[in-house]
Amino acid sequence: MDEASTTVSVSFDPALPPRVAAWRPWLGCTGLPIGADPASAANLPTLSVSPPQFVRAPDWPYGDVGAEAKPKGDAKALTAAIDDAFAKTSTTGVVIVQRGRIVAERYAEGFGRHVPQRTWSAAKSIAGTLIGVAAHKGLIDPAKPAPVPEWQTPGDPRAAITTDDLLRMASGLHSDFAGNRTDAVYFGGTHVGENVPGQALEAKPGTRFRYANNDTLLAAYGLRAAIGDDAKYAAFPFTELFWKIGMTHTFAETDWRGNFILSSQVWSTARDFARLGLLYLNDGVWNGERLLPEGWVRYVSTPAGPQPAGAPFGYGATFWLVNRTDGIPGDTFAAFGNRGQFIVIVPSRDTVIVRRGEDHAGDGFEIAPFAAAVLKALK
User: Mind listing the pLDDT tens digit for each residue in 327-372?
Assistant: 999 999 999 999 999 999 999 999 999 999 999 877 789 999 999 9
Residue 55 has pLDDT above 70, yes or no: no
Pairing of strands 341-346, 333-337: antiparallel
**What was the pLDDT predicted at 347?**
98
- Say if residue 176's pLDDT is above 80: no
Domains and CATH numbers, the chain: 7-43 (no CATH), 57-377 (3.40.710.10)
Mean pLDDT of the chain: 95
If pLDDT is split at 50, 70 and 90, which confidence band does 57 have? confident
d(CA 271, CA 124): 18
In this predicted structure, what is the pLDDT of residue 177? 66
Per-residue pLDDT reduced to its tens digit, 213-242: 999 999 999 999 999 999 999 999 999 999
Amino acid type, 337: G
- Per-residue model confidence (pLDDT) at position 179: 62
Cβ burial of 194 (10 Å; 0-12, 13-18, 19+) is: middle
Note if the pTM is more than 0.95: yes
Q: For residue 136, is pLDDT > 70?
A: yes
E strand spans, the chain: 7-10, 19-24, 28-31, 91-98, 101-107, 117-118, 251-252, 266-268, 285-286, 289-290, 314-315, 320-321, 333-337, 341-346, 351-357
Say what the pLDDT of residue 16 is.
87
Percent of the chain with pLDDT over 90: 88
